[in-house]
Amino acid sequence: MELQGHLLYIDITQICGIGCAFCMYADKHKAGISMELSTLARENLIALINSPSVKRISISGEGEPLNNAKVFHEILNLSNGGKRFEFITSGFFPHAQMAAFYDETDRIVTANGDTCNIRLSADSHHIEKVKWRAHGFSVDYLQRRQLSRLSFSFRSIDTDRYFTRQYLIEELQHWGIEADIIELGPLEDVLMVAEQRLGIDYKNLVHPATGTSQGYLDMHGYIAAIEAKVNKHFTFGSLNQSPHVNGMDVTIKPNGDVYLYGIETLRLGNMHFDRLDWQHLQTQLLSNPLARALYTQPLTELLSRLENTDLVQSIINRVNNPYWLVKELAVHDGLLDVWEAA
Ligand code: SF4
């Protein structure tokens, strides 16, 4: 099986004081830890980041990654150049501090010959909690500084897209910036600011709370929208646009544990204690029956093989997202046997 165009997620902290109502990691925030880089961790990250088979390195967290900005900048410094980084954040710092963060990020990626996209949360859940809003400020910063290696985009989990669109248009107006929305599909818009195109990604709602107004994409709708976008069946892994083959989707947790994204029943190692490279990770993936099935067979087919019981349906409806599904199904003995034998 050929795997190419990998996505490396690095979750650099569990700390967050923002308190979004829907947060899936809220239980980890108070006693949470932040990533530190041991000597072996640095060596492993250098090998993983600088492989030609990596398409993007995405820095995020089970908390707010700005709370560990120092390690983010250390990770950027491990690149040998030519890499695409992404930083997913609420952008909650006061604006002067946010500008200093952008300045340092731009300095490092420019020196190394990399790029970094800052992906700002722009949905009603985050906006109502964040005092210092970064959206208008960041677009203004980009225009004033004329940067070429730093870019911005937005992400939202709002059940309809009206809030995010209106919010961004009005917020940018407060900064004297005129913007328009172009609709691209159920999962993406583009915010046009003069000649600049800033992407807006929409995710479906994980674990929708009881009473959430209808109209959000359910898991099957979300899978269908992703399939239409990449023009191929949804499997696990980093889905690259057809006809390109898919890559691996690997997540490193704040404590250094390594998993395939969405398959947290299988720990592949720890970056502080094990030697890691993409070939070794791929060997582990292919030798595990569950991971191999999820990477090679369309999820819709795998779902059709599960017994259509009330339990399975209630898990699917409750989780509402393919990447949260496996660990919830795995809690129930025997439910996943049919996939492991597939
Ligand atoms: S900012 Fe992110 S980590 Fe913090 S509470 Fe909101 S969703 Fe959770």
Confidence of residue 210 (pLDDT cuts 50, 70, 90): confident
When pLDDT is averaged across residues 135-161 and rounded to a whole number, the result is 92
* Distance of alpha carbon 1 from alpha carbon 98, whole angstroms: 43
Residue to mutate, 23, 127, 133, 203, ligand 1, most ligand atoms under 8 Å from C-beta: 23
> Is position 231 within any domain?
yes
- Spatial separation of the C-alpha atoms in residues 66 and 58, rounded to whole Å: 14
The Cα–Cα gap between 231 and 210 comes to 33
Closest residue by Cα to residue 13 from 63, 75, 74, 85? 63
- The pLDDT of residue 333: 83
Region 76-103 average pLDDT:
97
Cβ 12 under 6 angstroms from ligand 1? no
Specify the pTM.
0.95
- pLDDT at residue 228 is higher than 80: yes
- Please report, as a single letter, which amino acid is at residue 215: G
Share of the chain above pLDDT 90, in %: 76
DSSP letter string over 223-246? HHHHHHHHTS---SSB-PPTTSPP
Whose CA is closest to 154, among 128, 108, 117? Answer: 117
**324 inside domain:** no
From the CA of 125, give the closest atom in ligand 1.
6
Question: Does any domain span residue 168?
Answer: yes
The per-residue pLDDT for range 121-134, each reduced to its tens digit, is 999 888 989 999 99
Q: Domain count of the chain?
A: 1
- The CATH code of the domain that includes 110 is 3.20.20.70
On the question of a cis peptide bond just before residue 243, with omega within 30 degrees of 0, the verdict is yes
Q: What is the pLDDT of residue 181?
A: 96
In a domain? residue 284: no
Q: What is the pLDDT of residue 334?
A: 84
**Region 267-290: what's the mean pLDDT?**
97
Residue 205 pLDDT greater than 70, yes or no: yes
17 lines ligand 1 (CB under 6 A): no
Q: Does 36 reside within a domain? A: yes
Average pLDDT over residues 178-184: 96
Give the residues across from 250 on adjacent strands: 8, 260
Q: Indicate whether residue 302 lines ligand 1 (CB < 6 A).
A: no
* Average pLDDT for the chain: 93
What number is the average pLDDT over the span 330-337? Answer: 86
Report the nearest-CA residue for atom 7 of ligand 1: 23
Q: Which two tokens stand for residue 116?
A: 């970094």
Confidence of residue 167 (pLDDT cuts 50, 70, 90): very high
Q: Is the pLDDT of residue 119 over 80?
A: yes
Is there a domain that residue 336 lies in?
Answer: no
Print the domain residue range for 15.
Answer: 6-277
22 CA closest ligand 1 atom index: 7
Q: 289-296 and 278-287 are packed helices; what angle lies between their axes, rounded to 10 degrees?
A: 100
Beta bridge partners of 119: 88, 153
Mutate to test the pocket of ligand 1, among 59, 90, 93, 125 (most ligand atoms within 8 A of CB): 90
Q: Where are the beta strands (DSSP E) in 33-139?
A: 54-60, 84-89, 115-121
Identify whether 335 is part of a domain. Answer: no
Beta bridge partners of 190: 182, 199
Bridge-based pairing of strands 180-185 and 188-193 is antiparallel
**Could you tell me if residue 334 is inside a domain?**
no
pLDDT per residue over 17-26, tens digit each?
988 877 888 8
Q: Look at residue 215 and tell me whether its pLDDT is greater than 70.
A: no
